[in-house]
Amino acid sequence: MTDYLQVSTTVDSRDAGMALIRSAVEARLAASGQVFGPAGSVFRHLDELGTGEEWQVFLRTTSDRYSELEKHLVDEHPWDNPEVTYTVIDGGSARYLEWLRRETTS
C-alpha cells in the first residue's frame, strides 16, 4: 500500500510559496499544494530570538516521492535551512487518493 503524506514548509512570501508548489507539481513530486498566510512567527536563529511573518506551504505526495520532494524543496528554498516536515495522511476518499498516487507517478 502506498502511504500518502502532507508535506509542509514555510517561506517569507506568497510568491516564494507558489514557486515551490509550481516547481514540485511540474516535476510530479507533489500532486497539489496551497499557500496560507501570513502567519506570525517566533523563532530562535543563530542564538538570537526573532519574530516575523511567514507563509505556510502544504503539498500532498506519496511516501515513494517524499525523499525527492524534500531534496527539491531544500534545493529550491530561499532559506539556507528550511523546515520541511510531513504528516501521514491516514485516510481519505479512495478516488482522491488514487488521483494523488497517479499524479505523483513519474
- Is the CB of residue 56 less than 8 Å from the CB of residue 10? yes
Q: What structural domains and CATH numbers belong to the chain?
A: 4-103 (3.30.70.120)
**pLDDT of 11 above 70:** yes
pLDDT band for position 1 (cuts 50, 70, 90): very low
pLDDT computed for residue 89 by the predictor: 96
pLDDT computed for residue 2 by the predictor: 63
- Is the CB of residue 4 less than 8 Å from the CB of residue 89? yes
pLDDT computed for residue 104 by the predictor: 96
Q: What pTM, to 2 d.p., does this model score?
A: 0.92
pLDDT computed for residue 106 by the predictor: 75
Q: Is 30 exposed, middle or buried (0-12, 13-18, 19+ CB in 10 A)?
A: buried
Q: What is the pLDDT of residues 25-45, one digit of tens each?
A: 999 999 999 999 999 999 998
Per the prediction, the chain carries an average pLDDT of 95
Q: Is 100 exposed, middle or buried (0-12, 13-18, 19+ CB in 10 A)?
A: buried
